[in-house]
Amino acid sequence: MLNFNYSIPTKIFFGKGQIEVLGNQIKNYGSKVLLTYGGGSIKKNGIYNRVIEILKDNDIPFWELGGIDPNPRIDSIREGIKICRENDIDFILPVGGGSTIDCSKVMAAGFYYEGDPWDLVIRKSKIEKSLPIGAVLTLAATGSEMDAGAVITNLETKQKLGVSHPSMAPKFSILDPTYTFTVPKNQTAAGVADIMSHTFENYFTLEDGAYLQNRLAEAVLKTCIYYGKIAIDEPENYEARANIMWASSLAINGLLSYGKETIWSVHAMEHELSAYYDITHGIGLAILTPPWMEYVLDDTRLDKFVEYGVNVWGIDSDKDKYTIAKESIDKTKEFFISLGIPMTLREVGIGEENLENMAKAAIEHKDGVVGNFKPLYCEDVLAIYRRAL
């Protein structure tokens, strides 16, 4: 196990009715709020009204920025910074999924940067500090509620890039599983796939001595497998929604990656798909995962797949190792299919046309090589995209 410094500073208020803490929590960090949200789901399911009521009851002045798109755009960030500066706002309150939270994080950082916030995403300039943010999560998927990262899209340059800074981590996040009851089936499925992919990215490493972290990762995967389909079939099943919501936070908040060297693979490849085609992140990940697994499976990586197959899928450990590995990949794919996820790029409108450009971009954005479980070069990424067609 490698050395690490443990720090997961976001306070989590988990469970039904936890929204009651919102007013006091905001007052710990700020006095004028920018409330951010997406395309309107929070207005349909009543969460918006409850949040407004709390802000008013607590005499907290607030401004609003709605309409944040999935795969959030840099333009929304520019708009948010302008509102914050014009009104001396000192706290940002995203209410929504990963897109709204990510967008708010970079707004918070961009507030203190004089140039264009895109500079911060492409690392032309460094983030120094950020306005405090606190999140009300409505979709279990990205883990943005408990990490310091954000992924932002620039449609003009066809770029979707991740950026991270400790100051962007939410000060607190409110996780009420009932808020996810209205998440549609396809977004629930995409969320489960995203959580599993974060876990895979942290789990699939070579002999790292991080036994404990690997068992924790298997627990997160088993939770997704056990409750994923239940959450889709019974959207108001509290237990299923609650377990998936907490899995979302634990998969990416550092717990599974501490002590390991985890350089992610499938995410780097997927971000190009959503940059070029604006597809749903979790769906792209689910499509790419089985072909990635098939492609990287070899003698060096075999034991890790056996560990996965036996511990997560319960495959008989007496079987031949390659049989176990292949069955584990088949089971992963069958699971995604059972959630109703399309399993080919063509089904989500992606053909041959941009595969080479996307493979090149994936490599360029990662300084020449993607991932470290099996380092992937341009021709490898292209081969995986082709398998996924």
Question: CB of residue 160 vs ligand NZQ: minimum separation in angstroms?
Answer: 7
> In the complex with ligand NZQ, which residue's Cβ is closer, 165 or 297?
165
Inter-residue contact 89 to 83 (CB < 8 Å): yes
199 contributes a contact to ligand NZQ by CB under 6 A: no
Pick from 100, 202, 205, 328 the residue near ligand NZQ by CB under 6 A: 100
98, interface contact from ligand NZQ, Zn ion, none, CB < 5-8 Å by kind: ligand NZQ
Strands 159-164 and 149-154: antiparallel
Question: CB of residue 36 vs Zn ion: minimum separation in angstroms?
Answer: 20
142 contributes a contact to ligand NZQ by CB under 6 A: yes
- Spell out the residues 6+ positions from residue 151 whose beta carbon is closer than 8 angstroms to its own: 71, 72, 98, 102, 160, 161, 162, 163, 271, 281
Query: Maximum CA pair distance of the chain?
Result: 67
Pick from 22, 26, 120, 151 the residue near ligand NZQ by CB under 6 A: 151
71 contributes a contact to ligand NZQ by CB under 6 A: yes
Inter-residue contact 124 to 187 (CB < 8 Å): no
Pick from 141, 210, 275, 339 the residue near ligand NZQ by CB under 6 A: 141
Question: CB of residue 298 vs ligand NZQ: minimum separation in angstroms?
Answer: 26
149, interface contact from ligand NZQ, Zn ion, none, CB < 5-8 Å by kind: ligand NZQ
Scan residues 321-380 and list those touching ligand NZQ (CB under 6 A): none
76 contributes a contact to ligand NZQ by CB under 6 A: no
Question: CB of residue 302 vs ligand NZQ: minimum separation in angstroms?
Answer: 27
Number of residues this chain uses to bind ligand NZQ (CB under 6 A)? 35
Scan residues 231-290 and list those touching ligand NZQ (CB under 6 A): 252, 267, 281-282
183 contributes a contact to ligand NZQ by CB under 6 A: yes
Pick from 80, 94, 97, 132 the residue near ligand NZQ by CB under 6 A: 97
314, interface contact from ligand NZQ, Zn ion, none, CB < 5-8 Å by kind: none
Binding residues for ligand NZQ, rule: CB under 6 A, are: 38-42, 45, 70-71, 96-100, 102, 138-139, 141-144, 147, 149-151, 179-180, 182-183, 187, 191, 194, 252, 267, 281-282
